[in-house]
Structures are given as structure tokens and as C-alpha cells.
Structure 1
Amino acid sequence: MLNFSYQNPTRIVFGAGQIAQLSQLIPAGARVLLTYGGGSIHHNGVYQQVTSALKQHLVVEFGGIEPNPSYETLSKAVALVQQEKLDFILAVGGGSVVDGSKYIAAAALLELDGWAILQNKVRVRQALPLGCVLTLPATGSESNPHAVITKKATQEKLSFSHPSVYPQFAVLDPTVTYSLPAKQIANGAVDAFVHVMEQYMTYPVNAAVQDAFAESLLRILIDVGPKALAQPENYDVRANLMWSATMALNGLIGVGVPQDWATHALGHQITALYGLDHAQTLAVVLPALLQHQREAKKQKLLQFAENVWGLKHQDPERQIDEAITHTRLFFERMGVPTRLTDYGLPASAATELAAKVRAAGMQQLGEHGQIDYAASEAIFRAAV
């Protein structure tokens, strides 16, 4: 096991009816920016619960944060925070709203334009305090210090991370997910699954606790993902899905182990160029990447096959093939296709995506840094 230091400061407030706790979670006298997405919170009762809990606070609203939060939209929120001298941000929505709110929290205290954070031209040193009410289990952004932001003008999708943007608290009420469209639930389960894989599917370092935890999360997601689609108001199913997605990327299973993140890096290029949902890009890239990297990941693939899928054969190559096939079929069973052509993209998309990877200088991806430009193109071609 590798050396590590781990601390997660986010307070989790979990369960039905817990949105009412906002009145105690946000400091009295705080001037609050309430951020949200397309407005579904106005129709599912979440907005009413939030505003009722915050009736003693000054609240300024900012809606319209996109599924892939854009610099252009978020810049308007940054200006609003500065103009109204707001000092606390409450994100109400899924991971995109939370990611966007992290950017707002950091950029609002900068003298430079906030995009400099994503370009690594300036380091985040402080951010406004923020909390969140999670409405979509998927990204784990509610209890980690990471955010991914898109700049529409340049078709860039970049990330940043800093401890100051850990949410102070996250309210997780599984009942607010009952009204979510099936597509969002499916995307969320796939997203969480791949988050686990990025931290688990590398090479062994004798991290028994992390491996066992990761394998448990994968098995839970395989079990509850389809059930969440079939039984949308099953509290226990939604609760386990929501908590699994949080635990998938709160940092715990990633301590002391090598991590990959090439699937995400390549998937971001698909979203930036063609606008596919984040989870859709992960479902496309991961099976192709596992095939391409099967030798480098052989030990973990065999462990994954046996401990997650219950597969064991005398022929290890067959065991790996079946594990990758089972993974692809899980995504498909969730209603998330796994080929670029399934989304109407031409075969030439692989070449265009490879060019974008090259333009971004992404030539050492993966836990070994061995996924270069040629490997990325081969993965995209296998994903067609």
C-alpha cells in the first residue's frame, strides 16, 4: 500500500426529510447564493423545502447551470456574488450544479478571470464556503474537492481541485430522486461505477481494505442500478444507490493505491466535441480501454472477474474477456449504449477525437503514463 494522508471535512446529513436541517447547517446571517440547474427543483418539491428552511436567510437565486457546467454561465454567477456581496453558496442539484458552485466559490475571490484556475495559471488559495442538497446520485462531487468545467467558446473541458471547495455539508435525501428521469438514474449509476473502476482497476499494491471496499461498491451498483430503474420509489434501493455514488468518489477507496482516470480524460473529449452525457462517454470508453490495457491491468482484471462478477476459468484470457463483456452488458442493461456509433457518431469521430487529445497534449494517460497519442486513437477506434 502506498503512503497517504486522508481527511474529508464534508458533513453528510442523510435521510428522508433532512433538507429541513439547512436552517442549522448554514450560519445565521449568511448571505446565500442558491444555485440550481434547469428548474426541476420547482416541480419536485425540493425548492419549496429549501426556501422554507432558509426563510430567515437572505437568499439570491441563480438557476440555469447546465449538465456540463459552462464557464460562460458560471461567470454570470460570479459577477452576481461579487455585486451582491454574497458569502455562502448552496448548490441544489446534481454533480454539475455542485461542480459549478465550487467554481463560483473559488472564482468569486479572484482578481483574475476564473478560467485561469482551469488553465493552472493561478492557484486557488481560498473559496467561499458552500454546502449542497444533492438531487442526483452520480458524481460524488458532494463530498470531494474536485470540479469539471466546460468552456463553450473553445470546446475545452477542464478540471480543478482544491481543499477549500469541499462542501461543508451535503444533504442526501433519497426520496428526492424518485421523480428523476430513468436516463439520469442510469447515467448516475454508470458514472459511480466508473469512478470506482478508475481507482481500483490499476495494479495490485496489497491494499486489501481499499480493494474489498471498491469491489463491494461495484457489486452493490450492479445490483441496485437496474432495480432503481424498475422500482423508482423503493427507498432502500435509492438510498443504497445514493450512498454508493457518494462513497465512490469521496477519496476513501483511492487512498494508498495507484489511480487511472484515462477513461475520464478521453471521455471528456467526447463531451467537448459532440455533447454526449458524461456517463455515456464513460460507457463508451471503459470497455475499449480495458481491452487495450488488458496486459498492463491483467492482475486486477482477473481479480475483478472473480470478486465482482464471480467468474473463474482455467483460461485467464477468457476470464478477462468475459469480465469486460459483463461490464459492457451492465451499461447496456442500464440503457447506456457503449459504442460511438450508437449515438449517431460516424467512424471518423475516432480520428477527430484523437486529434483533440493530441492538441491537448494528453500523451501520458493512465496509471503507468503509457497511454500515448497512438494508444488513445486505438481506444477511440475500438469504441466506434
Structure 2
Amino acid sequence: MKFSYQNSTQILFGQGQISSITQAIDTSKKVLVIYGGGSVKKNGVYQQVEKALENHNWLEFSGVEANPTKETMDKAVAIIKQQSVDFILAVGGGSVIDGAKYAAAAAHYDGDGWDILTGNYKPEVATPIGVILTIPATGSESNINSVITKAETQQKLPFAAACVQPLFAVMDPDVMKTLPEKQLVNGIVDAWVHVCEQYITKASGALVQDGYSEALLRALKTLGDTYAQRDNDLWRANLMWTANQALNGLIAAGVEQDWATHMIGHELTALWHVDHARSLAIVQPALLRNQIEHKRAKLEQMGRNVFALQESSDLAERTIDAIEGFYNQLGVATKLTEHNVSKQQAIDLVIERLEGHGMIALTENQTVTPVEARQILENAVA
């Protein structure tokens, strides 16, 4: 293990914490509040933000999509530049936060913001960001990652930059009370796969990272198993905190990571608008079965320590079955049915996209080439 780890985001966790942004944002700052649709006005979050910012100079930008597009966020970039905005408050889930990160970085660049996603520009400065989280899932509220879609070309790409790490994140579980069932389930699945991408790799002997990953997976499994009792404060708080811890950088420190499930899943979202979490549930079981010999040791460890499965020669196989069963238990499909073309056309489209992005050697072992990706999709596409 050799790593540098720092997470500078201040977490303001608990009921009633939205009011704390009054002190968290200096009144000398000109604030742009970025949010999605009208849900923050229906659930009372917007009104709480209004009250907390009554002595601040602020304006707003709304309409961020479920998968934030470059085209939409470039409008926010223009406002930041024209209005000399010097602080961004992202109010929403991972999509709003990711969009805000793009806008914060692109506002300090004279070229096309898409250069950030293609790697042609690496941002080192950005407008400071604070977050009020409304949907627990991505962990974007306290990490350096963002994923943006270019609607014009149906491309969905990630970027990471230290300068877009949020300064603070308000996490009030009460905001989850009005979330649709689908988003709660998506939060469990998204966080689960985030942990898996950092855990089901090579057996490294990293006791803290492995142990913490397993604790997070057991917590998510418990939340899934007790989903019928989800309408209580403790259930909501546990999901919000677990999803945050799944992708705040800690369990990734000093260990190898995969992320192939995400790279393939992103294409399903870009092409057919499959919910991000559900695209992961479609890809992951097929990918794990395809890569089982590389991941057997960690799958067996997960089977023992997360699912409490008994030792056997097929423990890794049964662990993958248990993962797929967990998704099915939550009503989440593990086959792509949303494609509006033939199965073969769908697979060809995804492979073409992956090759176009240079994603021809995925996973921690670089063993998912277009050949393996095609085999994975054969099993993942209905």
C-alpha cells in the first residue's frame, strides 16, 4: 500500500442542517444555486435554501437533467462568467452535483468545456462548490468525480479533478421522505456497485480497505433486506451515510480498482437512457462471470464475509448469484430490455462506443477487451 489520501469536504449531517449554509457560505460571495426540476420546491428544500440565503447575494439556474448534459451546463457556465459568480451551491443528487462540477471547472476555461471530458484540458482551478444532497447514491457530494453527457453525440464520459471537490456537503436525511421508490432503490444499487468496483479486484491484504468495504456492503444488504421498513429516520440516515462512504476515496486508497461495469453501463445510459444504477445492475453480473478467474479470491471473500455463504468449490459462482439475487429482490432487472434495436445491433453499438473512447482494455487487469465486452453484453442484453 502506497497512497496519498485527503478528503477536505466538511460533512454537515443530520436533520435541520440545511440552515447551516448561512454560516458555511460567506455573505461576500455571489452565489449561483444550481438545481434540477421542481422537486426541491415541492419538498420544501428550496424554501429552506431561500431562508438560509436571505442575507446573501444569489441567483439560480435550474433544469439540470437526470444525466447532466454539456449543452445544459454550458448555459450555467455562461451565467457564472457573465455574473461574476464566485460560489456555486448545488442542490440535488449526483446529477446536479456532477453538472455543477463541470460548470465550476469550465467557467475558468476559455475553450470548449468538453475538452475536460476528453482529457484535452485538465482543470486546476474551479469556482468553489457547496452541496445540499437530496438523493443518496453517487457520493459525488464529497469526491472529485463527475460524469457528463454530450447530447449531440450521445457520449457519456467521466472526469476527476481535485479543484471540484465540494467544500461542504449538507446531508439531511429528511429530504429523502418524498423521494420516489425507484430513486431509493437506485441509491442502494449505485452505492453497492461503487463499493464492488473498489473491492472485487485483486486480493491485496489491505485489511482496513477490505474490512470497511465489507461493512458497507453488509449495511447496504441490511437496508435492502429491510426495505419494507424504509419509512423511518434511521433507515434513511443509514442509506445516506453509507452511499457517501462508498465513494469518498477511503476504500480506494492503496488498492486496485476496476470500474469496467461503469464504463460499459455509461453507454447503456447514453444510448437508451437507462437509469445509471440500473445500467450497473445489468452489466455487473455478466462482467463478474466473464472475469471470474481473475476475481475468484475476492468473490469468495465477499461470499464468506458479506453473504455468509459456506465454503465450496463454487463459492465465487454462488456469490455472483447472490449479488444478482440481491438486485432481483429489489425489483431491479439484470438484463437490458430498453434497447429499441435488435440484440446484435445493441451490442455492436456499445462496442463501437467503447472503442471510440479508447476503452479497449478495461478492469484492473486490462482483460476486458472488445472481445470480452462483447461476451459480457451477449449475457447482459435481452
Normalization by structure 1: what TM-score? 0.97
Question: Within 1, Cα distance between the matches of 2:303 and 2:274?
Answer: 29
How far did residue 309 of structure 1 move?
0.5
Equivalent residue of 1:297, what SS? helix
1:337 maps to amino acid:
A
How far did residue 28 of structure 1 move?
1.6
1:326 aligns with 2:316: no
How far did residue 275 of structure 1 move?
1.0
Contact 2:147/2:158, CA 8 A, preserved across alignment: yes
Aligned to 1:362: 359
Aligned to 1:296: 294
1:157 maps to amino acid:
K
Contact 1:199/1:254, CA 8 A, preserved across alignment: yes
Contact 2:135/2:176, CA 8 A, preserved across alignment: yes
Residue in structure 2 matching 1:351, options 340, 348, 353: 348
How far did residue 313 of structure 1 move?
3.0
Question: Within 2, Cα distance between the matches of 1:99 and 1:9?
Answer: 17
How far did residue 346 of structure 1 move?
4.1
1:79 maps to amino acid:
A
How far did residue 311 of structure 1 move?
0.6
Aligned to 2:27: 28
Map 1:247-258; keep pairs closer than 5 Å: 247-258=245-256
Map 1:245-324; keep pairs closer than 5 Å: 245-315=243-313, 317=314, 319-324=315-320
Residues 182-235 of structure 1: CA deviation (Å, up to 9, x unaligned): 0011111100000000000001111011000000100100111353x4234311
Contact 2:223/2:239, CA 8 A, preserved across alignment: yes
1:249 maps to amino acid:
L
Equivalent residue of 2:293, what SS? coil
1:31 maps to amino acid:
K
Contact 2:272/2:338, CA 8 A, preserved across alignment: no
Gaps of 5+ in 1: none
Question: Within 2, Cα distance between the matches of 1:346 and 1:175?
Answer: 43
Equivalent residue of 1:150, what SS? strand
Equivalent residue of 1:171, what SS? strand
Contact 1:70/1:152, CA 8 A, preserved across alignment: yes
Gaps of 5+ in 2: none
Equivalent residue of 1:92, what SS? strand
Contact 2:77/2:103, CA 8 A, preserved across alignment: yes
Residues 6-31 of structure 1: CA deviation (Å, up to 9, x unaligned): 00000000000000001000012211
How far did residue 344 of structure 1 move?
6.9
Map 1:143-162; keep pairs closer than 5 Å: 143-162=142-161
How far did residue 341 of structure 1 move?
2.8
- What is the identity percentage for the equivalent residue pairs of Structure 1 and Structure 2? 49
Residues 229-261 of structure 1: CA deviation (Å, up to 9, x unaligned): 423431101101000000000000000100000
1:341 aligns with 2:317: no
How far did residue 280 of structure 1 move?
0.8
Higher mean C-alpha deviation, range 321-330 or range 261-270:
321-330
Contact 1:341/1:347, CA 8 A, preserved across alignment: no
How far did residue 326 of structure 1 move?
1.1
Equivalent residue of 2:294, what SS? coil
1:327 maps to amino acid:
I
How far did residue 158 of structure 1 move?
0.8
Residues 27-59 of structure 1: CA deviation (Å, up to 9, x unaligned): 122111000011100000100111100000111
1:237 aligns with 2:274: no
1:180 aligns with 2:185: no
1:322 maps to amino acid:
R
Residues 298-326 of structure 1: CA deviation (Å, up to 9, x unaligned): 100110111110012332x2x12221111
Question: Within 1, Cα distance between the matches of 2:339 and 2:321?
Answer: 20
Contact 2:143/2:247, CA 8 A, preserved across alignment: yes
Question: Within 2, Cα distance between the matches of 1:234 and 1:343?
Answer: 37
Map 1:62-141; keep pairs closer than 5 Å: 62-141=61-140
Pairs aligned (count):
380
How far did residue 342 of structure 1 move?
6.9
Change (3 A) 1:376 1:182: same
Equivalent residue of 2:321, what SS? helix
Residue in structure 1 matching 2:373, options 371, 376, 380: 376
Change (3 A) 1:151 1:362: same
Aligned Cα root-mean-square deviation (Å): 1.2
